[in-house]
A and B are shown apart, each in its own frame.
Chain A
């Protein structure tokens, strides 16, 4: 079985541009969450989706948005990129509401120049 898959693996963007990151959860998993990890820190929660509805949002500006599709895959969109958005973006999926933990994808490393 495939794990959580994310695309692209690496991305370089210019300030002010827009980016879309994609995630496919483990088959059967209905919960998808997005996290941002900057160097030297633990991952920070951005969004959580369960059964295609937004269930939680972290302390991130409105430039960040996401959605979950009927097949439970998800997209994270970031508009008007800033240098500080450079980070590893992680997607995690869970079968239930996360009580048993989440499985992470290998992430998308975004560099904003």
Chain B
């Protein structure tokens, strides 16, 4: 079993749609959780950290359920510029290495 598993993609949605990404992780000792965004042939960029209390940044909402070892990302009012691969990431090990899911590709069309 992979340490971090994400919804297989791609997600093809029209502008203005709401889209949800789901992710599960296997290591209950993981301490930090993130969503990274990666554009084609570019480096991953931190989108947002994820907290148990849930957190929101504009159109983006992230949730963490430690009991279920489940992480989600909700994007409201999708824009063309949201088209990218979204990577679910947890930390592991004493020095918090990043453990990535395979990513879910989002394509927003007019």
Contact = CB atoms under 8 A, between A and B. Distances in A.
A109 B41 CA distance: 9
Contacts of B49: 100-101
Interface residues of B, number: 24
Contacts, number: 66
Contacts of B91: 98-99
Contacts of A58: 97
Interface in A28-84: 31, 33, 35, 40-45, 48, 50, 55-56, 58
A32 B32 CA distance: 17
Contacts of A99: 31-32, 91, 96
Interface residues of A, number: 29
B87 A42 contact: yes
Most buried by B among A31, A50, A102: A102
Nearest to B6: A42
Interface of B: 4, 31-32, 34, 41-46, 49, 87, 91, 93-103
Interface of A: 31, 33, 35, 40-45, 48, 50, 55-56, 58, 88, 90, 92, 97-107, 109
